[in-house]
Structure 1
Amino acid sequence: MYVITIIYNQPTDPAAFDEYYTANHVPLVHAIGGVASFSMSHCESLDDTPPAAFAIARLGFASKDDAVKALSSPEGQAAAADVANFASGGATMLFGEVPDEG
C-alpha cells in the first residue's frame, strides 16, 4: 500500500477548521478516484503539553502510480487547492510505501 499523510498544523480557529473539513473537504477527498482508504484524526499528546500538530489525514492507495494518478486528476487537484481554505496553520504532505508485513 502507498500512503499519503497530511499533517495539519494548529489552525487559528480549530472549530472552523473542523466544520469546514467535515462539510467541504471530506466530500472532495471522497471524489478522488483510486483512494483505497481514508482517515483523519486529531492529534493528542501523552501529557499536558499541546500536540505539535492539530490533525493527521491518511489516504491509502494500491500503488504509488495510483497515488500519482489520483493527485494529478481534476478531483485530486481540487482537494489539494481546497487546503488553503481551512488549514490556516499550514499543512505538510508526506509520501511513502507501507511494507507488506504478510
Structure 2
Amino acid sequence: MIKLTVLYKHPTDTKAFENYYANTHLPIASKMTGHEKLELTKFLNAPDSTKPDYYRMAEFWYKSAEALQKAMDSPEGQATSGDLANFATGGVTLLVGTIE
C-alpha cells in the first residue's frame, strides 16, 4: 500500500480556507479515482493549548505507486493539485510513503 499525505500549514484566514476547502476543493478532489481509502483530519490544539504545526491533513491510500501516479496524472488529479495554490495560503506539503 502507498499513502499520499497532504499537510496544510495554518492558513492566513481559516474561515476563507474552510469555505473554499469544503465548497470548492473537496468537490474537485472527489472526482479523483483509484484510491482505496481517504481520510481528512483537522488538527486540534494540544491539551496545553499549544497550536499544532499543521492545520489539516488529507490522506489517500493506493494499492500501488502506479495507481497513485495514474490518479495524479489524470485530469482530475491535475485539477486537484493545481487548485492548492488557490486556498492553501499557509503552504502545503505532499508526502508519499509505503505503509508497512
Please give the TM-score of this superposition, normalised by the length of structure 1. 0.91
* CA RMSD of superposed structures (Å): 1.0
* Partner Cα separation in structure 2 for residue 94 and residue 61 of structure 1: 13
- In 2, distance between residues paired with 1:37 and 1:29? 13
1:62 maps to: 63
**SS of corresponding position for 1:22:** helix
Equivalent-residue separation in structure 2 for 1:35 and 1:23 (angstroms) = 21
Structure 1 residue 45, shift from structure 2 partner: 3.5
Structure 1 stretches of 4+ moved >3 Å: none
Please, which runs of 5 or more residues in structure 2 have no aligned partner? none
Report percent identity of matched pairs: 36
TM superposition score normalised by structure 2: 0.93
Count of aligned pairs between the two proteins: 99
Match of 1:27 in 2: 27
Q: Tell me, which stretches of 5 or more residues in structure 1 are unaligned? A: none
